[in-house]
Structure 1
Amino acid sequence: MLEMGADQVDEAVAECAELLRSVADRDWAVPAGSLEWSVRRTVEHVADDLIAYAGQLTGRAASGYVGYGIALDEGLSNEDAAGVVTATGGLLSAVVRTTPPGVRGWHSFAYGAGDRTGFAGMGVAEVLLHTYDIACGLGVARWRPPSRLSQSLLAHLFPHVQPGPDPARTLLWATGRADLPGRPRVTSWHWHNAIVLPVEDEEDEEAPAVLELRELSPAAAMDLSVGGTAGHTWLGGDPDEGSRAAGAMVARTYARGTHRPEWGTFVLVRLRDERALGTIGFHGPPDERNSAEVGYGLQERARGHGYATAALRTLTAWGLGRPGSPALRARVDPGNKASQHVLRRAGFTPADPPVVQDLAEGLDLRYERRG
């Protein structure tokens, strides 16, 4: 699996500290590459982000950043400034290691929150990208982000970017720092934290959510498709075959460059025990008819408790609420009465025509839902 966690934070910080100490005898007042900041100000910014991200998780920040920051002491040597990055990086990696998987803290990218994996990825991104800026500003032309870290970062925080044979160059291109043959220059960019959709109780909207839909990143999808757990603890021990197939679908679209965040697969997690019960999601973004197909599947032990219906209602509300109010559709085997019941309870009705013949998959019933 393309991991993103405390070890990756430590690796990125070590790369940064090594570069900073190798240029500690130079003038850090010069601009850091294409940034308006000086090298010293950029170093301060990296340290500030690392400690801020740690605080977002430990403080369980619900809105905005926790109210503190960090500044380098006036007169602090360049060598000691490098040590500040090492220290703050260690704080973030320690927090990532000890934060439970369901905990999130506020961040604007995307949808107002990030979990421990998200904040680890954001920390790695800040470190690698600004180390590159610093290297450019000080004329260290040889420095590039490590390939494996770049590959992991792309698959976690840049799901909308098609990976290429050179992950470091792709990362620099995706963040406006380099050209990439065959792709237009990037002038505006952002990363993407996985979306989390709470599944509310339809009869009591004030009651706390008992389930969550957690977006599957391409990195987690690749792991799931080849026999891994995608970082989740699954009911019964192992993911079901339907979830592995859903992971493989995300992995394929990511490799082709057609994966779109929001329109992929979500893992259905039961909050009381943090167990993954199955997957639900879209088979891709809305097509030329402004219609997107939904699919879902639960592990056998999770069926019969209303989880699928509740999850589909939440996913449906999310999809219909996207810009342009796309229509949603679903296909189900005529013999699968339970799934047809789930669709009807979630507001889907038979399409016109209600039956479709697919040469590869056979006969299916069609359902649809419009806003």
Structure 2
Amino acid sequence: MRPINGDDVIEAVAGCTAALRQAVDRDWGAVRAGRLEWDCHATAVHVADDLIAYAANLAGRAQDGYVPFELTLDEGTDNAGLLHVIETTGALLAAAVRTAPPGVRAFHPYPFRSADAQGFAAMGIAEALLHTHDMAEGLGIGYEPPADLVASLLACLFPHVQPGPAPWPTLLWATGRGELPGRAPVTEWRWNNNLVIPAERVTLVGVRPAAADDLRLGGDGGFTWLDGGPYEGTREAASFLLKAYEAGVHRPEFGVFALVRHEDGRAVGGIGFHGIPDEDGRVEIGYDLVEGARGQGYATEALRTLADWALARADVGSLFATVERGNTASQAVVGRAGFVRVSEEGDTGEELAYELRR
């Protein structure tokens, strides 16, 4: 798996149109698209409409809803012309993705009201792959996209779904289009763009599994880091995130966040949770900064921001943090963020335990 980009959009659309050209002389309006209620013609128009809508929202920096327009075909457009429209709208989405500045986000409703360029690319790819499957099923033609593209798509938009034996059957199962041995049928689903939480001087940017994989292997995870790379705690947290994803227990909102500084777009540290809340609503939190960003209040700002976000949720009642006994700077951070020292299992040996309740 790897981060999704504009080239992947082109690849997905090319596979879509190549498959459908096998049946370009058929009456698509008379054939139902697989399990959908739409016919194949309406489904193909839907793919093109979504591709251009995603391109418009990203390029137009839409914030509160979709850019108010709709794709309409010229009267008499045949199937070949419709495939040309899909190719064109796919190229426009790829261009919007390639030219979007780092950090730019625009409106999309699921699940956190915004998506970045990678998210829009992945959603466009998902529309192309899944609806080509629907149309191919209805038209009785063969279609299967490249496994590496599907694996990257799953990691980007379905980080809450445990990878299966093969990517394509897993994606079809995850979207209610197929069965997977040992897993219950899916009747409702949504894809999952990464969460971002703005603070005063930094933004907490949710780390996706592909980025976590790169970070744990010594890469930059797609971020531009101050001092050339994250501190060791962020890499360790990334490895835990990847293990949770592979085990199917990762919940993206309780994962790892990179701290991206507003003034220059550089990542200055990482913060995140050590898992999901337990049955009592208790969840552990941790953080670190690169050396060049320490002593400037970034950790306190990020900790306060993430704590406020977490404690506003119904499933979180308290936050827990452990700090090395000799790390007086970090002890000051949790104190400024409102945590109080408690006598619990963490408050032994070389570590002190701190807690913040709702």
TM-score by structure 2 length? 0.97
Which position in structure 2 is the counterpart of 1:252? 243
Structure 2 counterpart SS, 1:127: helix
Please say if 1:274 is aligned against 2:284: no
Distance 1:355 1:106, change over 3 A: closer
Please say if 1:366 is aligned against 2:353: yes
Please say if 1:227 is aligned against 2:218: yes
The answer as to whether partners of 1:354 and 1:367 remain within 8 angstroms in 2 is no
Which position in structure 2 is the counterpart of 1:157? 157
Q: How many Å apart are 1:22 and its aligned residue?
A: 1.5
The answer as to whether partners of 1:8 and 1:124 remain within 8 angstroms in 2 is yes
Of stretches 191-200 and 180-189 in structure 1, the one that deviates more from structure 2 is: 191-200
Separation in 1, partners of 2:295, 2:99 = 35
1:20-72, Cα deviation, whole Å (9 max, x unpaired): 21210112011110111110111100001001101101111110100112122
Structure 2 counterpart SS, 1:262: helix
Of stretches 301-310 and 222-231 in structure 1, the one that deviates more from structure 2 is: 222-231
Q: How many Å apart are 1:198 and its aligned residue?
A: 0.4
Which position in structure 1 is the counterpart of 2:182? 182
Separation in 1, partners of 2:134, 2:317 = 41
The residue correspondences of 1:181-330 to structure 2 (distance < 5 A) are 181-200=181-200, 210-330=201-321
Give the partner amino acid of 2:82: A
Q: How many Å apart are 1:352 and its aligned residue?
A: 2.8
Separation in 1, partners of 2:233, 2:190 = 31
Q: How many Å apart are 1:355 and its aligned residue?
A: 4.9
Separation in 2, partners of 1:24, 1:189 = 31
Q: Deviating runs (4+, > 4 A) in structure 1? A: none
Separation in 1, partners of 2:58, 2:216 = 29
Separation in 1, partners of 2:82, 2:322 = 59
Q: How many Å apart are 1:287 and its aligned residue?
A: 1.1
Q: Which runs of 5+ in 2 are unaligned?
A: none
The answer as to whether partners of 1:328 and 1:369 remain within 8 angstroms in 2 is yes
Which position in structure 2 is the counterpart of 1:127? 128
Which position in structure 2 is the counterpart of 1:203? none
Of stretches 274-283 and 1-10 in structure 1, the one that deviates more from structure 2 is: 1-10
Q: How many Å apart are 1:354 and its aligned residue?
A: 7.3
Matched pairs, number: 357
Q: Which runs of 5+ in 1 are unaligned?
A: 201-209
The residue correspondences of 1:351-362 to structure 2 (distance < 5 A) are 351-353=342-344, 355-357=346-348
Q: CA RMSD in A?
A: 1.2
Give the partner amino acid of 2:125: V
Give the partner amino acid of 1:193: N
1:169-217, Cα deviation, whole Å (9 max, x unpaired): 00010000000000000000000111110013xxxxxxxxx21000011
The answer as to whether partners of 1:280 and 1:294 remain within 8 angstroms in 2 is yes
Distance 1:368 1:146, change over 3 A: same
TM-score by structure 1 length? 0.94
